[in-house]
Chain A
Amino acid sequence: MKDNVVVRITEVKRFYQMGMVAVHALGGINLKVEKSEFVSIMGPSGCGKSTLMHIIGCLDRPTSGHVHLDEVDIDKLDDNELAAIRNKKVGFVFQTFNLLPKLKAIENVELPLIYAGVGLPARRKKATELLEIVGLKDRMYHRPSELSGGQSQRVAVARALANNPSIILADEPTGNLDSKSGEEIIRLFQELNSRGITLIIVTHDQEIANHGKRIIRLKDGLVVADDRVTARSR
């Protein structure tokens, strides 16, 4: 079963040195996420959710402890190798979408493929497929400023999927959306998950979290609860 572990976090701590005091963003996290899981992370603001997502997604390194992604020890990799991991194995979705405003929807989706060195025809084809999957076939050549929040976030999801990552990390993906658009994004996530894609999302919304299969609660940089979502709690 070892093959199925996508994320393995062991005793991960993350401190920020603020002058004389050290802020403990994460105080010793242990976590294992297997393939095809749909995990929601909840917890009050400032409890370290984003920090944890950044560490899982290889954007940040822990102060101590170990991170394995697809059983690769992140510690041993240099910055370029981490960039390659982010490119190929991780798909980020942000609260504020973070699309590049000058690029059309399809070009935003192509961006990770460019960094992966994929040529234009293959890139176009892949990006088109992905935009179809997220239901934006008719908005491919629009710029972000011409898209609604929900549409923008779906472009961002397509971008996250570009290199067939091992895991999608979504930090409050519905935080900037109205409830209907948020609901649509979550349904999209559920559909992706049903295709076998592993997902971790951060949310404040219990309703949203209930759509996943597992809920992890953080408090002050520690895991305080880790439960399966039962049919009843849905």
Chain B
Amino acid sequence: MSALLEVEGLVVRYGRATVVHGISFALERGGVLALLGRNGAGKTTTLRAVMGLVPPAAGRIRPDGRDIAGLPPSRIARTGVGWVPEDRRIFRRLTVLENLEVGRQPARDRGNPWTVERLFALFPQLAERRHHRGHELSGGEQQMLAIARALRGNPELLLLDEPSEGLAPPVVRTLFEALGEARAQGLTLLLSEQNFRFARLLADRACILESGTLRFSGPMRELEERPELARAHLAV
């Protein structure tokens, strides 16, 4: 299997504070990697660096073997990276359909592009609210829309920043099922989570981040066999 994303020695600074201290991980095509860690561990920062939203101070980021560190976010998005931000960042004044339009990108030559119809089949609740504006949606609907909007660009790699945060269990279930379906289509996921239960169900590999350094990196199975790690570094 070839690596779809390779991060090597990533360092990120905000002003003088170093927030991510040279972490490395790789993600295989079709795999799901969960970045775990407490508040402020550096999960969001890592994802933002991959997306090009913060410039890495050092290190390489290679989706598909190409180094993208330093490219503007729009170019990175166009290489096939989708972005589901932490606080969803739905365009509040745009309707659901318009939000999806912003996410649209010319279909890469892949068998089955994500059309609006297919996205509405994935999230039927959104179909009913297609003409509603972003600020009229519930938290769960906003999260669905954030995922649908990113899928509309037909990404190969989807970055998800704490998708289950603050959502009721039935909504989390819907998201879980939808992401499972997207995965079945060959999508690769990089997920940041504090919710270990959600991450465990979805991911096959895990990294534990603490204060910007990796404390664990390996198959999810191994993490499940070492509950002391989870206890030490995660809020379980």
Our verdict on whether A and B bind, yes or no, reads: no
Report A's interface with B, CB cutoff 8 A. none
